[in-house]
Chain A
Amino acid sequence: MIDTGYSLILIAVMAAVTAFIRFSPFILFPEGRKRPRVITYLGTVLPYAVIGMLVVYCFKGKSLLAYPYCIPELLAAALVVGLHVWKRNTLISVFSGVAFYMVLVQLVF
């Protein structure tokens, strides 16, 4: 590890930058001030696009071109989608998907 003082400085920088990113929309468009319609519009459609982005984000370190070709991820994803369309119960869908994925990566692939 590097020296304590410099470690603390780096952590402070990382914490400040992270908070700055999260706070900036609220700083740009503070409560009670009128904001452009397009911003309100984006606020309503972004969740749909962003969740799609996050699903892909979860796959970013995985390769389709090398073993196991994302097969465990895709099989578990198929199970989660199928179970959720059927039961509409988040806990059942998530925990079944995780259990299935753990079996796949630990025992099968």
Chain B
Amino acid sequence: MTKKTFLRAFRDSLPILAGYLALGFGFGVLLQSKGYSFWWAILMSCTMFAGSGQYAGVDFLASGATILTTAVMTLIINARHFFYGFSMLDKYKGMGPVKPYLIFGLTDETYSIVCSAKLDEGIDKRKYYFFLTALNHSYWITGCTLGAVIGGVLPFSNEGIDYAMTALFIVIMVEQWLSTKEHLPAILGVVTTVVCLVIFGADLFIIPAMALIALELVIFRKKLDKTGENAEVKQDD
């Protein structure tokens, strides 16, 4: 059962393997270009496990940013993660000693897989979530470290491989779209974020987008809460 669970987690993590190696590599290259050895890449990827947060972190380190700037900017950049826990309150209930690690490792990609994975009876959920999180973490650490060690010189061009993340989110969106007749939450998510991106720009859009999405979902609660179309999400609870 453990082996079956591990293989399932491994299979589900494969799109993330490609994306994390590429994105992590880019981070490692950037970090070592500022004079930090690969030990720093290991330290940051182990303790932060956050893509855009770490990329921004290189700037904070290189420029010697103040502690306040670093804290506030990290809060803004990673704010979207605040939403993820709300969907995991029940899924991660009773996970025991691994629960803090699962929460620590709740990245965009892990979250999207955990939300969409339909696990059958033969899968131990606790082990599945742990394997998935740990595998993703190991890919991320490996990518970051390799980038810092190799430092930008690859015998082939990997330009564009980071599209794996975009493709993964699109696939999950298609899966969700096909699994329900209620498309309003998905539409609200896309439209609200696009509008905020246009109005607030690439650096500031995410927090207004999150606030508006939450507000809109609460406004439409009467319509969305009684449809029962979200039974699919609830079944794993």
A contact residues vs B (CB 8 Å cutoff): 1-2, 6-7, 9-15, 17-19, 21-26, 29, 31, 35, 38-61, 72-73, 76-77, 80-81, 84-85, 88, 90-91, 93-95, 97-98, 101-102, 104-106
Does B175 have its Cβ within 8 Å of any Cβ on chain A? yes
A81 with B205: CB separation less than 8 A = no
A93 contact set on B, CB distance < 8 A:
167, 170-171, 174
B160 with A50: CB separation less than 8 A = no
B172 contact set on A, CB distance < 8 A:
51
Partner of A91 from the list B15, B50, B94, B165 (CB cut-off 8 Å) is B15
Q: Tell me how far the C-beta of A43 lies from the nearest C-beta in chain B, rounded to whole angstroms.
A: 5
Q: Tell me how far the C-beta of B111 lies from the nearest C-beta in chain A, rounded to whole angstroms.
A: 8
B92 contact set on A, CB distance < 8 A:
26
Does B106 have its Cβ within 8 Å of any Cβ on chain A? yes
B contact residues vs A (CB 8 Å cutoff): 11-12, 14-15, 18, 34-36, 40, 43-44, 47-50, 53-54, 57, 60-62, 64-65, 67, 70-71, 74-75, 78-90, 92-94, 100, 103-104, 106, 108, 111-112, 115-116, 157-161, 163-176, 178, 180, 185-190, 192-194, 197, 202, 205-206, 209-210, 213-214, 217-218, 221, 224-225, 230, 233-234
Known: A1-B36, A25-B82, A56-B190. A31 touches B104 (CB 8 A): no
A104 contact set on B, CB distance < 8 A:
160
A21 with B82: CB separation less than 8 A = yes
A29 CA / B85 CA spacing, docked (Å)? 10
B169 with A19: CB separation less than 8 A = no
A50 contact set on B, CB distance < 8 A:
80, 83-84, 87, 111, 189, 213
A49 with B217: CB separation less than 8 A = yes
Known: A43-B86, A85-B178, A94-B164. A23 touches B103 (CB 8 A): yes
A12 contact set on B, CB distance < 8 A:
47
B103 with A22: CB separation less than 8 A = yes
B173 with A51: CB separation less than 8 A = yes
Among B67, B167, B187: residue with most chain A CB under 10 A: B167
Interface class of chain A by DSSP: helix
A94 with B167: CB separation less than 8 A = yes
Considering only CB atoms, which chain A residue lies closest to B112 in the complex? A51
Considering only CB atoms, which chain B residue lies closest to A105 in the complex? B160
Which 6 A-B pairs have CB atoms at the shortest separation, nearest pair first?
A: A52-B189, A25-B85, A49-B189, A48-B185, A1-B35, A97-B167
Partner of A47 from the list B67, B176, B178, B209 (CB cut-off 8 Å) is B176
A51 with B189: CB separation less than 8 A = yes
B88 contact set on A, CB distance < 8 A:
25-26, 43
B43 with A11: CB separation less than 8 A = yes
A102 with B89: CB separation less than 8 A = no
Known: A1-B36, A41-B225, A44-B234. A53 touches B213 (CB 8 A): yes
B84 with A29: CB separation less than 8 A = no
Considering only CB atoms, which chain A residue lies closest to B220 in the complex? A45
A2 CA / B161 CA spacing, docked (Å)? 31
A11 with B176: CB separation less than 8 A = no
Q: List 21 A-B contacts (CB under 8 A).
A: A7-B40, A13-B71, A14-B71, A17-B75, A21-B82, A25-B85, A26-B92, A47-B233, A49-B188, A50-B213, A51-B176, A56-B189, A57-B108, A58-B169, A73-B163, A76-B163, A81-B174, A85-B178, A90-B168, A102-B158, A102-B159
